[in-house]
Amino acid sequence: MKASLNNYRQAPRKVRLVTDLIKGKSVEKAKTELAHLSKRASTPILKLLNSAIANSNLNLNESDKNNLFIKSISVDKGIVLKRSMPRAHGRAFPIHKHTSHIKLELARKS
């Protein structure tokens, strides 16, 4: 019951603020919390959670969502897109556009 999102175009530091809120919670509690959160990363993480739930239904025939909880969710650094901003006297200042890799794993409550 795993799902992953690669090269999400937001810095890992900002995405970790959202993932730390739902780590270890039940699926239903995490879905309601993500639906009412005002951070930009909450929408793709909610889609990722729904994907992991669909994977559990497909692979384990686990149709009861009440037994599932978020076992682990990790945010790793992805590739860094390097751009430049023109500055005075013909110089160029670097701009780094960070990406994130998000890995989500669900488990059954015993």
Over residues 10-69, the pLDDT tens digits come to 999 999 999 999 999 999 999 999 999 999 999 999 999 999 999 988 777 666 777 899
Model pLDDT, residue 62: 60
Given a cut of 80, whether residue 109 has pLDDT beyond it is: yes
Model pLDDT, residue 67: 87
Extract long-range pairs of 26-31: CB within 8 Å, 24+ residues apart. Answer: 26/66, 26/68, 26/69, 26/70, 26/109, 27/53, 27/65, 27/66, 27/68, 27/69, 27/70, 27/106, 28/65, 28/66, 30/70
Model pLDDT, residue 63: 62
Over residues 83-106, the pLDDT tens digits come to 999 999 999 999 999 999 999 999
